[in-house]
Structure 1
Amino acid sequence: MLEAELRQAAAELDPVPVELRQLALEAYALHDLDAQIAELTFDSLVDALPVRGVPDAPRMLTFRAGGLSVDVEVTEEGLIGQVLPPQSARIEVLGGPQTVRPVPVDTLGRFTSEHAPTGPFALRLRAGGEVIVTEWLRA
């Protein structure tokens, strides 16, 4: 009873914004039940020391899942990265159900996307029969 009253009070006093609810629904629609979740092991916004004289340094991210890692540089021009150990793979940049962008990966595991994420995004990697998905991040 108390829980129902608290839920109703929260819904009236501090409702979830419609845009956020829609983003959550879209993110869930893109989930892959068989996918392995890649752990974010490095984020330059949190882990790096600031470099003097470089005001807008690109964001560097490293994800790990099993024996694979994905290094990604997020810039205003797009994404640049590499799958390690080097191998051919398929990567998709997820931004919602309408914005799944396939990104070609060469045999050395390198990839480039000319579309910079503008909101929440995740990467889905398909390599060697495995599906790996990163957590959702804000660009």
Structure 2
Amino acid sequence: MDRWESDEVLLRELTEALAEAAAVPPAFARAARAAYTWRTVDVELMLLTSYDSVLDAGLADRARAALTARQLVFDAEGISVQVEVTEAGIAGQVLPARSGRVELLTATGPVEAAELDALGFFLLGPPPSGPVRLRCEVDGSTVVTDWVCV
């Protein structure tokens, strides 16, 4: 005889099975969240280590207020990303020059991407307000900059 004599019996057993699956032990949920945080452990973080024109103590307050472009330099192991941010957009260069791709990221995900030219230059549109970062994929490696508000 058939194990499920009617659709109602089948639906009841399916409902019970799904209810059991929904009851994930808290330890499993914590372990899953912890594993998820390690998903980008191989992505090297580029820190704003060299220069930020907004923080340059050598600029007089009046000159700083008159700046129309913000200059940023991010460094990581053997890679430097130099960026100039204006109302028109973001112009930058990855050094040493190499082929690759740059993505502009916000907290909600990628906004825009551009290919690097032969000299490592890239152009992106105006950044959205709030924190942004750049993800650079060069020669099979991926690096991301620190978050900055531009």
TM-score by length of structure 1 reads 0.70
Q: 1:37 aligns with which of 13, 20, 45?
A: 45
* 4+ long deviations beyond 3 Å: 50-54
Counterpart contact for 2:81–2:94, Cα < 8 Å: yes
- Stretches of structure 1 lacking an aligned partner (at least 5 in a row): 1-27
- Return the letter of the residue paired with 1:132: V
- Return the letter of the residue paired with 2:123: T
Deviations 1:29-61 (CA, angstroms, capped at 9, x unpaired) = 9x7321001021211111252474971331100
Separation of aligned partners in 2, 1:81 and 1:55: 21
Q: Highest relative contact order (Cα 8 Å, sep 6+), 1 or 2?
A: 1
Alignment of 1:74 with 2:85, yes or no, is: yes
Aligned pairs for 1:58-97 (under 5 A) are 58-97=69-108
Alignment of 1:119 with 2:130, yes or no, is: yes
Q: Residues 53, 99 of structure 1: CA spacing in aligned structure 2 closer, same or farther, 3 A cutoff?
A: closer
Q: How many residues align?
A: 111
Counterpart contact for 2:101–2:138, Cα < 8 Å: yes
Counterpart contact for 2:133–2:145, Cα < 8 Å: yes
Deviation at 1:117, TM superposition (A): 3.1
The percent identity for this pair of structures is 39
Q: 2:142 aligns with which of 114, 131, 138?
A: 131
TM-score by length of structure 2 reads 0.66
Deviation at 1:73, TM superposition (A): 0.3
Which residue number in structure 2 is paired with residue 3 of structure 1?
A: none
- Stretches of structure 2 lacking an aligned partner (at least 5 in a row): 1-35
Deviation at 1:88, TM superposition (A): 1.3
Which entry has the higher C-alpha Rg, 1 or 2? 2
- Range with bigger deviation, 65-74 or 52-61: 52-61
